C-alpha cells in the first residue's frame, strides 16, 4: 500500500530564507506526486505535481520540488520565503495501479518570521 510521510508538522523560517518541506513516499513503482497548499479557512490548492515527465517540477508562487527515486522523496522548496507563504502544506500520492484515491500526508504548517 502506498503511503506518504511528511517530516515536521511545524516548520518556521525567517522571511527571505530557504523553505524546505520534506515528503517521503512508499511505492513499489514511481507514483504520481502532488503538493497542495491550504490557507486558513480555505480549501486545498495545487502547487505542483510530478507525473514522470521531469524530475524537477516547478509550481506556482516560486515553489519547486524534486523527485528522487533513490531516496523516495519529493521535497518542496522555495529559495526565499515570503510572509504570504505561511500556510499548511500537504504532500499526496496517487496510486499507480489505476485507482483514483489520493493518499495525503499529515501536513506541515509553515510559519514565516519577520
Binding site for another protein (CB under 8 A): 4, 9, 32, 34, 36, 41-46, 49, 51, 90, 92, 94-96, 98-107
DSSP string, 81-96: --GGG-EEEEEEEE-S
Alpha carbon distance 2, 95 (integer Å): 7
Complex with another protein: residue 2 or 73, whichever CB lies closer? 2
* Minimum CB–partner distance for residue 84 and another protein (Å): 18
* Minimum CB–partner distance for residue 103 and another protein (Å): 8
Complex with another protein: residue 6 or 73, whichever CB lies closer? 6
Complex with another protein: residue 8 or 16, whichever CB lies closer? 8
Complex with another protein: residue 68 or 101, whichever CB lies closer? 101
Cβ–Cβ under 8 Å, residues 64 and 57: yes
* Minimum CB–partner distance for residue 113 and another protein (Å): 22
- First CA to last CA distance, the chain: 41
Query: For 39-59, what is the HEC assignment?
Result: CCCCCEEEEEEECCCCCEEEC
Amino acid at each position: 500500500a502506498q503511503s506518504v510521510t511528511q517530516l515536521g508538522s511545524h516548520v518556521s523560517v525567517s522571511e527571505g530564507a530557504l523553505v524546505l518541506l520534506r515528503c517521503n513516499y512508499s511505492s513499489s513503482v514511481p507514483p504520481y506526486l502532488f503538493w497542495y497548499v491550504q490557507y486558513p479557512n480555505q480549501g486545498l490548492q495545487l502547487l505542483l505535481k510530478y507525473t514522470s515527465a521531469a524530475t524537477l517540477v516547478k509550481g506556482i508562487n516560486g515553489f519547486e520540488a524534486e523527485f528522487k527515486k533513490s531516496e523516495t522523496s519529493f521535497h518542496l522548496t522555495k529559495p526565499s520565503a515570503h510572509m504570504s507563504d505561511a500556510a499548511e502544506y500537504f504532500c499526496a500520492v496517487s496510486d499507480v495501479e489505476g485507482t483514483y484515491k489520493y493518499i495525503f500526508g499529515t501536513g506541515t504548517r509553515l510559519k514565516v518570521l519577520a
